[in-house]
Structures are given as structure tokens and as C-alpha cells.
Amino acid sequence: MFITQPSASPYALHERLASLDNNSDWSRLTDAYQAMVLIRCFDKKAVNLQRTGQLGTYASCLGAEAITVAAGLALQASDYFVPYYRDHATQHLRGVPLHQILQYWGGDERGNAFPTGTPAERDMPNCVPIASQLTHAAGIATKAKLCHESAAVLATCGDGATSRGDFYESLNVAGVWQLPMVLMVNNNQWAISVPGQLQTASKSIAHKAEAAGIEGIRVDGNDLPAMLEVLDYALAKARHGKGATLVEAVSYRLSDHTTADDASRYRKASDLHHAWQREPVARLRKVLVDLGHWNADREKQWQQQCQQDVDKAVQTYLNQPPQPATDMLDYLYDQLPESLQKQRAALSAQSGGHHA
């Protein structure tokens, strides 16, 4: 039912949830809703930290909560996650503490040293260069296949990345080698300031799977239950050696591209207003409340808990000692070249920096 057809609308489940009451895993959906609320609270705080000079340039995930939470819940501990820069919720659900995510965006690379003993220790660090992580994912998937691992590789990117050669090369090798890989595109309609219709003449991003001979799925990226169903299917298929899948999650970027951007210069306020009517957090909350799986008291308690957790993460982040400046040289060479030793000595004499 997922296979892309030329005029297919994104796969959606939200409107049919009431009729699926007896079959749906409501506890999983409630957990997902709570994770979405937490990451939205975190996201808002991160933007505020950047605006007050306590965080570096930050890529918001506002509007992508369903996509990134569904990924975190669908992945198993034995899988590999190869992220791009809006996957904060997935990373957190894989075991990365919130303060460590802030650490990375504060310019401290120790934020990418994920905790041992968590699923995240198998994952790749954040990738800001566009689409380069997709070829890395194909390499990891090749290794998983050659070693007969029962594991899937989930790689993510934005719609802008689908114009890069790395995207097509990864898709092609995933198809021809039948790799255990799921490539998920967050199609939020904007590649910084370039709208989707100027990105590609293809009928959809999912249609590009046809050229690679793999399955392509379009799914409503604001529909958490649909996202879970599609990712459960695609990742299980990969784990069982049934090949790769391209997932196009159709969403809308409710934020600026990053905190260095001002989207009001290139998009209509009316388009943004319309997108807010379909935003994923309120959508899922309404369904849960209407069907008796959530209520106002639980909402109030969870909002307070999220605020406490985020405030604690911020304090932990701000109290971290600065990363030694010598780290920029110490992990590049087995033995530091003589030509750089003078620079290292000068760096070691510095007292350290500050957050952001």
C-alpha cells in the first residue's frame, strides 16, 4: 500500500485513528507525544540561548517533531543512525542527553562523543555538510550486509540534499547492492530559501527511488502514527535483507532555516499560517484527548516536567568546562608535526573559551 504512484498523496493515518482504536498501540503514541512536547520545549530554549549569545548557530526542528521522534522510536538498539542537523529528538531517544546536544551546538565537539552503553554509540555524529552523510550510510550498510548483521541503517537529510550527487550515488548503490538502508528525506518545502518547485522537476522526491530500483514512499511528515507505520515497515524490511527504501516525509519548516536566517524575507506569512494549522504536536494531542488517552491534567504535569528537564540540561551545559583549545590539534595526528608544535604551545597557554 505504500508504493509510490505518480499522483499519490502522502500516506496518512491520522484521520483514521478513531476507527483503529482496538488495534492501535496507544501507549506508544502517548510516549511519542510526550517526546514531541519535550523536544519542542528544548528547541524553543535552544533558540533563546542562541539569541542571548550562549549557543552557536542552531538548526531548529520546529515542525519536524513527528519525523524525528518516529525515527527514534522505530529504530532498534542494533540499528545504525546517520543523522543530519535537525534530528535532535532521534538522538535524544537513542540515548544522547539534552545537555550534550547543546554542547555540540555551542561549538564543543565533545557533544558528538555519545555515551557508551546506549544505542547512540553506534551512530554517526551530526553532519552539517549537505548529503555527505548519505555515502557514509551506504558504507555502513555495506559492512552490515557483508557481516550478516540483523541491522538497518537509517540515514536522514533535507529536501535540498536530494539535489546533490551524494544522494543519487547512495540511492543507486543501495539499490544495486540491495543494502539494508532506509534513506529518509524531511521534505520541509525549503532548501534554505529555495522552494521545492525549484529543487526538482520530478513528480516527487519519492519518485526518484524508481531510478534506483528501490521502493519509494511518500508519507505525511506531520502524521506521527503514519510515520511510525512507514518506518517500522521500511526498517524491518532492511533488517530482513529485503532491500532499501526511500522515504519522503512531507512536512513544513515552521522555523527559519537556522538562527542565522530570516525566512520572512522569502516566504509568505499566509503560507506559514496555513502550515501551523497542520503542525504535528497539536494534531496528535487532539486525537489523544478526543479518544480518552490524554487529558488537561496530564498535559499540565508533562509541560512542567519538560520545562524542568530542559532547565536542568541548560545548567549542565553552561557549567561544563570549556573544551581545551589544544583539542583542535591533538586528535589530528598520531605524532604532532614539528611545524605545529609552536602553535600548540601557544594554545595550551590560553585559559579557555566560553560557551558559544
DSSP state of 136: H
Which uninterrupted H or E stretch holds 31? Answer: helix 26-51
Contact call for residues 129 and 87 (beta carbons, < 8 A): no
List the one residue out of 8, 12, 1 whose CA is nearest residue 207: 8
Q: Which residues contact 113 (CB under 8 A, 6 or more apart)?
A: none
Contact call for residues 70 and 224 (beta carbons, < 8 A): yes
Q: Is 106 exposed, middle or buried (0-12, 13-18, 19+ CB in 10 A)?
A: buried
In angstroms, the Cα distances linking 113 to 101, 286, 304 are 10, 38, 29
Show the CA angle centred on residue 161, arms to residues 160 and 167, nearest 5°: 145
Extract the C-alpha cell encoding 206. 519519492
Distance CA 30, CA 34 (A): 6
Show the CA angle centred on residue 296, arms to residues 291 and 299, nearest 5°: 100
List the one residue out of 247, 67, 87 whose CA is nearest residue 171: 247
Contact call for residues 244 and 174 (beta carbons, < 8 A): yes
Q: Residue 178 CB: number of other CB atoms within 10 A?
A: 16
Distance CA 264, CA 85 (A): 22
Show the CA angle centred on residue 228, arms to residues 223 and 229, nearest 5°: 100
Catalytic residues: 253, 257, 266
**Backbone dihedral region of 157: left (phi > 0), alpha (psi from -120 to 50 degrees) or beta?**
beta
